[in-house]
Amino acid sequence: MVSSKLTRFERARIIGARALQLAMGAKPMVKVSGAMDPIDIATLELKKKVIPLDVRK
């Protein structure tokens, strides 16, 4: 059963990797309002499916 849904490990890994990029100065792919830390932004990006990263299965 191959599901497109991410496992909790994949989610954590993607958010972590994206948050690192953001922390190092990458431009957010979503609109940032007020004070958000990189992890919040990465989580929001994942929710909107705009993170430019993929998991290798």
Partner 1 sequence: MQETIEKVTKVVKKKRAKFTESLIYEIAETVEKRDMDDKELDELVKRVKKAYERARVENGEAVGTVAAQSVGEPGTQMTMRTFHYAGVAELNVTLGLPRLIEIVDARKKISTPTMAIYFEEEFRVDEEFVRTIANQIGKSTMNDIVQDFHTNYAKMNVVVELDMPKIEDKRLNFEDIINRVEKAFKKVQIDNNVLSFEPSKPSIRELRLLADKVRDLQISGVKNIGKVVIRKEEDEWVIHTEGSNLGAVLKMEGVDKVRTTTNDIHEVEKVLGIEAARNSIIHEAQRTMDEQGLTVDVRHIMLVADMMSADGSVKSIGRHGISGEKASVLARASFEETGKHLLRASIRGEIDHLTGIIENIIIGQPIPLGTGSVGVLMKQKK
Amino acid at 20: L
Over the window 15 to 34, marking each residue x when it contacts partner 1 by CB under 8 A and - when it does not, the resulting string is: -xx-----------------
41/48 Cα distance (integer angstroms): 11
| Virtual torsion, Cα 15, 21, 24, 26, nearest 10 deg | -120
> Taking CB under 8 A as the rule, does residue 14 contact partner 1?
yes
Phi then psi dihedrals of residue 38, to 5 deg: -50, -35
Find the part of the chain contacting partner 1 (CB under 8 A) among 24-32, 35-43, 47-55: 47-55
Among 9, 24, 34, 35, binds partner 1 (CB under 8 A): 9
Question: Residues in the site for partner 1, rule: CB under 8 A?
Answer: 1, 7-10, 12-14, 16-17, 51-56
